[in-house]
Copies of this chain bind each other. A is one copy, B any other.
Amino acid sequence: MMTILVLPQSLAYAMLVGLPPQAGLYASILPAIAYALVGSSMTQVVGPVAITSIMTFAMLSPLVPPNSPQYLALSAMLALMSGVVVLAAGVLRLGFLSNLLSRPVVSGFISGSAVLILMSQTKLLLGVPSNHVTLMLGAVAILALYLARTFLTPLLMRWTVPQAAAEMASRLAPLVVVVCGTLTVVAFDLDTTYGVAVVGQVQNGLPQLALQWPTLADLNMLMFPALTLAFIGIVQNITMAQALAMKRHERVDANKEMVGLGLSNMVASLFGGMPVGGGLSRSAVNVASGGQTPLSSVMSAFVMLGIVLLGTSWFARIPLPILAASIVVAAMYMIDVAEFRRAWAYDRADAFAFLGTALGVLVLGLQLGIVVGIGLSLATLLYRASSPHIAVVGRIVGTEHFRNVERHGVETLPGVLFIRIDESIFFGNLRAIESRLLAELAKLPDTHTLVLIMSAVNRVDLTGLEAMTEAQQDLRGRGIALHLAEIKGPVQDRMLSTPLWKALDGRVHLSANAAFEVLKSAP
């Protein structure tokens, strides 16, 4: 029922896309109902969101001028096409696609997009031609929104206001700022006297069914944008739905999510034509105001419908710099410096992936930026697996447990080398493993037995198997018997019928300890 809180946001995002303001209102009605009917999340609310809005603007504004009828038509087609792609991905159960990106990469992408959003709003904040009143209005609004968002809740709580109420007050701030800003414009006639841009006449009444069928040329032109938008929409929506579900101990069905998101975009393309997604603030407002089931989202949609039918004339004098200010503040909070700091502290590779994706978005644009992000996600995966941790281990005295000889006081057997490989053996790390094994054997030239402890080898691919087979022959040539220990069930199942298994000079032991006992008592 608190839909009215996100009303300024809906107008602002429509402006960000380059569509008439009512498009943002329409996109909060039927698409939200469509999602509520089929989506899997109980509390997520679908509507205009920053990330799909800036993507739509970035992809369509080079093709046709924003705010033109052709632009509206293209935007609707884009929503339709990406909706069909998302729906199809959901029906084909491609939910695993959302696993392609690591969290630092998603954060880097959103942070880079936020910078693009900030840059896109400068013109509106300065006014055209540059205008002091506009600038002042925008600056005051940004300051007010920033202070309210950052300090209002803790301040109210210190004054013993309950947390829920304090948070709600903070969320009310954007609406208050818009109302105050509009009243200021009306009181001093800032729009007619000082040239402050305002929303202008908002079309009243029901959304019109207004879809053109895409031509083959449109399909061709919009194919790659639609795929990108669909992919980002999926990742963003599922990430958000999972965050919401976790708080309620619920689970998200990624495929059902995609069906919901796809359908709501297809509906969005029919009315107003603005691509939609799972909205962070509107979902948060929904939860804060007690929404427990999709019903509350449907109710909100009806409230919005009422506003569209009755009250749009009130919007005409909302000043654009105030809406721009609300976009700017939202974008500022999208720049996820905290995630970057965590990544830097925990794992540099993740930090570089964040930075690379953000820079990719800024330098190469949103579409190539996401390709860079996928590439960096996979590159970090490959890079890490390519330089495996390999430990020479020994038995902790008095136990059956084997640990790194460098970290723990352990016992060893003369001429027997126990080596634990802490990575799946696959095409990317064979050379690293080989060179480490040879280095360890060179350190202990009287080695006659090599025991490979495979407790952390979760897979051996064909390239790895062939390399192990060759290594076994090489070791035999050096007079070293190769034993294997603690092979995992699934790995062993595959190996049983291979030449390596049959040709093994040494034995296969259930545990490193069993190998130790056998080799200790061997002559």
A contact set with B: CB distance below 8 Å: 96, 99-105, 246, 249, 251, 254, 342-343, 345-347, 349-350, 377-378, 380-382, 384-386, 388-389, 391, 399-401, 403-404, 407, 422-424, 426-431, 435, 438, 455-459, 461-463, 465-466, 470, 474, 477-478, 488-490, 494, 497-498, 510-511, 513
Contact = CB atoms under 8 A, between A and B. Distances in A.
24 contacts: A99-B429, A99-B430, A102-B426, A103-B466, A105-B427, A246-B470, A249-B477, A254-B431, A346-B462, A346-B498, A350-B461, A350-B463, A380-B461, A384-B424, A384-B461, A385-B385, A385-B424, A389-B489, A399-B400, A399-B511, A400-B400, A401-B513, A422-B488, A456-B488
B455 A103 contact: no
Contact of A251 (B427, B430, B438): B438
A457 B458 CA distance: 9
B100 A428 contact: yes
B513 A427 contact: no
Given A400-B513, A470-B246, A488-B456, A462 B343 contact: yes
A293 to B, nearest CB: 21
Given A381-B381, A400-B399, A345 B497 contact: yes
A421 to B, nearest CB: 9
Given A251-B438, A426-B102, A431-B99, A458 B461 contact: no
Given A427-B101, A427-B377, A465 B404 contact: no
Given A249-B478, A400-B399, A404-B489, A423 B99 contact: no
Given A389-B458, A458-B388, A465-B346, A99 B428 contact: yes
Contact of A347 (B251, B478, B488, B494): B494
| Copies of this chain, tallied across the complex | 2
Contacts of A435: 251
B99 A488 contact: no
Nearest to A96: B386
B386 A99 contact: yes
A420 to B, nearest CB: 9
A297 B511 CA distance: 49
Nearest to A495: B346
Contacts of A343: 462
A385 to B, nearest CB: 7
Given A246-B474, A381-B385, 8 more contacts: A99-B430, A103-B462, A246-B470, A346-B494, A347-B461, A378-B381, A380-B461, A381-B381
Given A474-B246, A489-B407, A510-B401, A423 B458 contact: yes
Contacts of A342: 462, 466
A455 B455 contact: yes
B104 A463 contact: yes
A343 B342 CA distance: 41
10 smallest CB-CB distances across A and B, nearest first, come from A102-B427, A103-B463, A400-B400, A350-B462, A422-B458, A456-B456, A99-B428, A102-B463, A401-B511, A378-B378
Nearest to A104: B462
A515 to B, nearest CB: 12
B382 A378 contact: yes
A202 B197 CA distance: 80
A353 to B, nearest CB: 9
A350 B460 CA distance: 11
A302 B307 CA distance: 91
A380 B460 CA distance: 12
A99 B462 contact: no
A63 B456 CA distance: 51
Given A465-B346, A470-B246, A389 B102 contact: no
A249 B474 contact: yes
